[in-house]
Each structure stands twice: as structure tokens, then as C-alpha cells.
Structure 1
Amino acid sequence: MDSGIITIMLPLALSIIMIGLGLELTPKDFARVSKHPKAVLIALFCQLILLVSIAFMVCKILALPPLLSVGLMLLAASPGGSTANLFSYLFKGDIALNITLTAINSVIAAFTLPLIMNFSIQYFMNDGQQISLEFSKILQVFGIIIIPVCIGMLIRHYAPHFTEKLNKPLRIFAVVFLVLIIIGAIAKERTQIMQYLTQVGLATVIFCLCSLTIGYFVPRMLGINTAQARACAFEIGIHNSTLAMTIALTVMASSTIAMPAAVYSIFMYVFAALFGFALNRFTEQPSIENTASSH
């Protein structure tokens, strides 16, 4: 993949996608935290503590190579993707909570992602090879996430009609970009792709299934209603693999570190859809429970 594309086009494209996410947010979305503090805190605990710990254990138990271990930890540290909102809509999740979680996760990730990555690099890269996240790189990650979201929110506030025109093209662009970045990452490593699937395929499948099941059942066990638990499941289960791949290819300049996210993105939409259908078939309907709880 051409270095100019990696250093300029990927962050630019991701910024455009984050502007699209910002177009769907208003300050009221952040205020919803006060209405659903328990659900938000449980979801954040699952994502930042449980899943990062599970990713670490998967790396250790399956004895992944150092670069792929760092890649899986990068994936675990990445926030939920905006696609999670679509899955919540399709499978009767609490979309308002989902948008709130996406917004909060995007902010928190600017701080937690570099911390988790520094730990991963120091722990797994024990062969003398070092990839450091300097402060300037941390600012770069922050800039990729936060600033475009704020721009999108400002556009929505001051130009609502323009926002309506932008929404659909930006969603299409996001899907096309995800497909292209997966193809690009795979093409660069095409001679080793089967080896990567062998090495990291099982790890990403385990991580994907753990993300979805923990995201749903932990909130349910702690008294969160079905609709909110579904929102948590998709937010936690659908990681922002685009962000993970972009950071791996730009900040870390390693297509190998990008591989777990690329392989994960192949599995996650399929498993998320199957998980949603399973929830619809085998669990109570959210509308019934929400109606009962509102009275």
C-alpha cells in the first residue's frame, strides 16, 4: 500500500467517517447518560476491563506472535463502531443508549487506547523491537476521533438541511472505505494471509463471540432491560475495526498489526447478525418489557 495513501488518505477518510457520526449526535445524546447511568457504566466496564482482559488471555493461551498480539489488543481497545447503531435498530435495541455509548466510547478511547497499546507493546514486544506511541501520536489519535465528531455536531446544529443531504453519502462512503481498507490490508499481506487466518482466525472468532455474549448477558444479569442490553451487546460486539486498522497502518506503520482487525471485520458482521436473530428468537421482546417497566 502506497505510503502517501497510508499517511494522508486513511486518516482523512476516517475523519470524514467520524464527521458522519457527529452528524447523528447532539449535546442531548451526552445528557442521556444521566438517564441511563447504570447501563452506561456496565457497558464501559465490559468494554474497557472485561474485554481487554479476555483479549490478553486469548493472546497468551493461543500463544499469538507479538505483532498479532498487539493487533488483537489494539482491536480490544478500539471503541464500538457506528454500525452498532444500525444493528440496534434492526434488532430492537435502545438506539438512544447506543448513540450515547458510541459518543462516550469515542471520547474515552482517545485516552484509554494509547494506555492499553503502550502496555501491549511493552509486554508482547520482548524481542527488542519497539513501536512507541509518542505524545504527538496520541494527539493524532485524539484528533482523528474527537475533532471530526465535533465538526459533525456543529454542522448538524447550524445546517440541519445540509446534514440531511450529507448523511446517506457519508454512510455509503463509510461502508466503501471499510471494504477498501480490508482489501488493501489483505492485499499487502496476500502471501501470508492464510498463515494469518490460521494464526489469528480462531482468536478473532473467540474474541467476537465473547464481545457479543458478555455485552448482552452481563448487563442482563445486573438488571438492565433487554432493549438496553441489546444496545450494549452491539456496541461492545462491533468494534471499530476501521479505526484499529488505520492506527496500525499509520501510527504503527505495520500491516501485520492491522491483520487481527482485518480478519475480525470479516467475522463480526456475520456473528452480530446471527446473534441478533438468536436474541429475537430465544429471548423476550424488548417492547413488552420496556412497556411494563415504564409503568
Structure 2
Amino acid sequence: MPHLLKLTQFVSKTFALWVLLFAFLAFVSPETFLEIRGYIPYLLGIVMFGMGITLTFNDFSEVVKHPKSVIVGVVGQFVIMPAIAFALAKLFVLPTDLAIGVILVGACPGGTSSNVMTYLAKGNTALSVACTTISTLLAPLLTPIIFYVLASQWIDIDASAMFASVLKMVLFPIFLGLIIRALLKKQMAQISQTMPLVSVIAIVLILAAVVAGSKDKIIDSGLLIFGVVVLHNCLGYLVGFLAAKALRLNNYDSKAIAIEVGMQNSGLGAALATAHFNPIAAVPSAVFSFWHNVSGPILANYFSTLKNQHDEDPSS
């Protein structure tokens, strides 16, 4: 078990490296990963199940302690990122498949890696976990609605089918994890420590499958979509931080909000795009999956130099 925990820690810390490596392998040898595309929803389900067995009631305590900060984070997640995605799709006149892909990843909830980045940034990690949890639980309702409102001008959208997909891929695995943790508390406490390793493997395989299936489109528009994803992610960080400061949140909370807003559950975006649209629509999610694991540590390193005010949590 100690060796497995060390491996888990190593793989988690080098997540961006594994994303880059498998994206490269999928690009040069797409046939190796093409068959994985049919398993993308199940891989995402594994990630969400892992989230479920690691959740405790303490993860929701921040909602009671600091409801304003949680509301700002969750509202920012479902307003700022979709709005930026829509603006970028319009500004760069993106082709239909790429436009809906960018908006789709913008409408997704926060990514779980935001919690680690917030910790490294010396921000409010409990707030980050609460925002990720609440936004993920709200995703079956809000992601299809937001996506329908913003992307329906490009393509016909079956919002009810998307709702059912998010329910199956996100909410059901999380609740299954919660139930199993409640029934097998001691066993799950140990197993949950290795779930980051399983999650990294699943996310990397999702990314590889998307890259393998969209190699030609990546070649055609790779530079454009990479630029759009970088802007989307970085503007999310910036606007999230400025919004938190404008609402008079301290640095400790504002760091968490900025990272929470800017980092997306791109695995969900890729799974929904593959299930409901042209696989090319999954490319923005694939690029986002790589990029936010590069930008996140850079921002966390900068944020760690920003002092938390004297009135903030002394544990920071």
C-alpha cells in the first residue's frame, strides 16, 4: 500500500506530463487508441465514482460557514466561463463543431484538479472543494440548459438527452460512491487514497481517444483552437479573481474562486461531445484538459506569493 500511495502521489504531481505524453502517442499512432472512444462515458464515470467515495460531510461545511464565497464560486463557474466561451466563438468566427465544443467545455462544472491547485496557491482549499462539489452536483441541470441557450444558434440540441447523459455519467457514479463509502467506510478510506491514480489514468485515456479520433481536424485548426482554449482558460482565471475581489472577498478566497472558475471538467465536455455531436467537437475539451494542467501550476505558483490578509484563515 505505501508503494501504491507513492506512485499515486508521483503520477498526480506529474499529471500534465502524462497528458502531454499520451496526447503525443495518440497523435502519432491514433489506431492504438481509437477503440477507447466507446468507453469514454464509462471512464468519466470512474472519475466521478472516485470523487463520490472521497466526499465527506465536511466537504459541504464551507457552504454553511461561508455561503457568500461558495455562491460566488458556483455562479462564477456557470456564468463567467460560458460567457467567455460564447464571446470567443463569435469573435474568432469558429466553425460550428469547434464553436459548440468551446461552449460545451465552458458550460461544464469545475475540474477536480482545481482543488490541488488551490492548495498549492495557498488559497482556501475547503472553498474550492465545496465549489467543485456543488457545481458538479448542479451540472446535470445547468450544463444542458446553459449549453442549449448559448449553442442552439449553431446546431439543434436535445437538452433532455444531454441531461440524461450528465445524470448517468456524473450524478449516478457520485451517489454510488457516496453509498459505497457509507457502507464500507473503513475499506473505502484506504481505497480513496489511490483514486487520484485511477482518475489520472481515466482522464489520460479519454484525452488520447479524443486526439486519436480528431487527428486531421487538430492538424487543420490546431493553432486556432489552442489559442482560443488558452484565452478561455486564462480569462476565466482573471475574471474569476476580479469578480471575487469586486465582491469584497479576501485573497484567501479569491485565489480559490479564480482557479475554480478557470479550470473545467474537460473530461465531461469530451464525453458529451463524443456522445451527442461530431467527435471534432471534443477537441476543445481535449486541448483544455492538457492546457489547464500546465497553466494551473503556473498560476498557483504566482498566487502563493500573494499574501493572505490578516483577517483570513490563519491556517493559510
TM-score w.r.t. the length of structure 2 is 0.83
Determine helix, strand or coil for the equivalent of 2:290: helix
**Cα-to-partner distance string for 1:79-101 (whole Å, 9 max, x where unaligned):** 01111111122221212111111
The match for 1:147 is 172
Post-superposition shift, 1:4? 7.0
Aligned pair partner of 2:302 in 254, 278, 289: 278
- 1:84–1:238 CA contact under 8 A, matched in 2: yes
Output one character per residue of 1:45-79: Cα deviation in whole Å (capped at 9) or x when no partner.
Answer: 32222221121111111111111110000010000
Output the TM-score relative to the length of structure 1. Answer: 0.88
Q: Please give the secondary structure, in 2, of the residue aligned with 1:290.
A: coil
Among 96, 99, 105, which residue is 1:69 paired with?
Answer: 99
Correspondent of 2:226 among 194, 201, 217 = 201
By how many angstroms is 1:118 displaced? 2.0
| Structure 1 residues 28-177: aligned runs within 5 Å | 28-125=58-155, 130=156, 132-133=157-158, 135-177=160-202
Paired residues in the alignment total: 285
Deviation string, structure 1 residues 179-229 (Cα, Å, up to 9, x no partner): 222122112222232323223111111101011112222212211122221
CA contact under 8 A between 1:23 and 1:153: conserved in structure 2?
yes
4+ residue stretches of structure 1 with deviation over 4 A? 1-5, 291-294
Q: Where does residue 40 of structure 2 map in the other structure?
A: 10
Contact 2:233/2:262 (8 A) holds in 1: yes
The counterpart of 1:261, out of the listed 259, 277, 285, is 285
Note the residue ranges of structure 2 that are not aligned, 5 or more in a row: 1-30
The 8 Å contact of residues 188 and 255 in structure 1, kept in 2 or not, is answered as yes
Structure 1: stretches of 5+ with no match in the other structure: none
Instruction: Give 1:179's aligned amino acid.
Output: V
Cα offset, 1:24, TM superposition: 2.1
In structure 1, distance between residues paired with 2:154 and 2:169? 26
Which of 245, 248, 264 matches 1:239? Answer: 264
Check conservation: 1:197, 1:263, Cα contact below 8 A: no
Shift of the alpha carbon at 1:291? Answer: 4.7
Q: Is the 8 Å Cα contact of residues 215 and 232 (structure 1) preserved in structure 2?
A: yes
One-letter code of the match for 1:143? K
Displacement of 1:170 in angstroms is 2.2
Equivalent residue number for residue 290 of structure 1: 312
RMSD: 2.3
Question: Using a 3 Å threshold, how does the CA distance of structure 1 residues 291 and 120 change in structure 2: closer, same or farther?
Answer: closer
Tell me if the contact between 2:110 and 2:135 (Cα under 8 Å) persists in the aligned partners. Answer: yes
1:204, 1:5 → 2: CA distance?
Answer: 24
Cα distance in structure 2, aligned partners of 1:111 and 1:291: 33
Partners of 1:3 and 1:264 lie apart in 2 by: 20
CA 1:120 to 1:153, structure 2 compared with 1: closer, same or farther past 3 Å?
A: same
Instruction: Give the whole-Å Cα distance in 2 for the aligned partners of 1:30 and 1:56.
Output: 31
Using the TM superposition, name which of 255-264 and 190-199 deviates more. Answer: 190-199
Q: CA deviation at 1:292?
A: 7.0
Shift, 1:267, TM fit: 1.3
CA distance in 2, matches of 1:88, 1:156: 25
CA distance in structure 2 between the aligned counterparts of 1:188 and 1:74, rounded to whole angstroms: 18
Answering whether residue 273 of structure 2 is matched by residue 210 of structure 1, we say no
1: CA distance between counterparts of 2:313 and 2:127? 17
Q: Distance in 1 between matches of 2:315 and 2:223?
A: 47
Does structure 1 conserve the Cα–Cα contact (< 8 Å) formed by 2:37 and 2:209? no
Counterpart contact for 2:80–2:236, Cα < 8 Å: no
> 1-side partners of 2:186 and 2:313: how far apart?
34
1:196–1:259 contact (8 Å) kept in structure 2: no
Q: Cα gap change, 1:133/1:3 in structure 2, threshold over 3 Å: closer, same or farther?
A: farther
Structure 2 CA distance for partners of 1:54 and 1:87, relative to 1, 3 Å? same
